[in-house]
């Protein structure tokens, strides 16, 4: 093999990525919980444990630790999967963000955050924020897509108080 060929190929390539931030209005789901913020964060701040409050998930596998780690979520029905990358995770501020890098749910781009903010010593507010775009072939209207995201997030967040009690 000629050593010059790889150099020529390299010159014709440039850095690129398929991961870009979505555009659109955020979908926000927040819930007040009568539990200390740190206890709630142990549940919603665990990137690999969303099965605790999203019953539609069959399993989660996380590869790596901390920002840059990848989460593979498999749903119970329809061979649906989502692969996400953890962008940031801060136990002190009880916040994290992640980005979808692959899914077969009809979502083109998705960025999300989870935060927990204390509201006194024995209660808090947990908030899941999602900014997403549908795939070009997604048959849902813009409003239908937002309603789908909102319903999914609200359903999950409604399960958090019970998950905290069981943890």
- Domains of the chain, residue spans: 20-166
pLDDT at 139: 80
Where residue 97 falls among pLDDT bands split at 50, 70, 90?
Answer: very high
Higher pLDDT, 134 or 151: 151
pLDDT at 8: 56
For the domain 20-166, what is the CATH code? Answer: 3.30.530.20
pLDDT tens for each residue of 70-82 = 999 999 998 999 9
Contacts 24+ apart (CB under 8 A), 108-115: 108/22, 108/132, 108/133, 108/134, 108/135, 108/136, 108/138, 109/20, 109/21, 109/22, 109/133, 110/22, 110/84, 111/21, 111/22, 111/87, 114/44, 114/45
Q: What is the percent of the chain with per-residue pLDDT over 70, rounded to a whole number?
A: 93
């Amino acid at each position: 093999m000629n050593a010059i060929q790889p150099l020529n190929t390299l010159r014709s390539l440039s850095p690129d990525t398929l991961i870009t931030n979505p555009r659109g209005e955020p979908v926000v789901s927040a819930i007040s919980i009568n539990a200390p913020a740190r206890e709630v964060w142990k549940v919603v701040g665990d990137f690999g444990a969303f099965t605790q409050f999203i019953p539609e998930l069959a399993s989660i596998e996380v590869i790596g630790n901390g920002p840059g780690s990848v989460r593979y979520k498999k749903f119970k029905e329809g061979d649906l999967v989502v692969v996400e990358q953890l962008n940031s995770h801060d136990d002190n501020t009880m916040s994290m963000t992640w980005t979808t890098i692959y899914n077969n749910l009809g979502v083109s781009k998705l960025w999300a955050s989870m935060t927990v903010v204390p509201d006194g010593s024995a209660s808090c507010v947990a908030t899941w924020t999602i900014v997403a775009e549908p795939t070009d072939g997604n048959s849902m209207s813009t409003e239908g897509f937002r309603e789908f995201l909102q319903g999914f997030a609200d359903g999950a967040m409604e399960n958090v108080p019970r998950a905290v009690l069981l943890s």
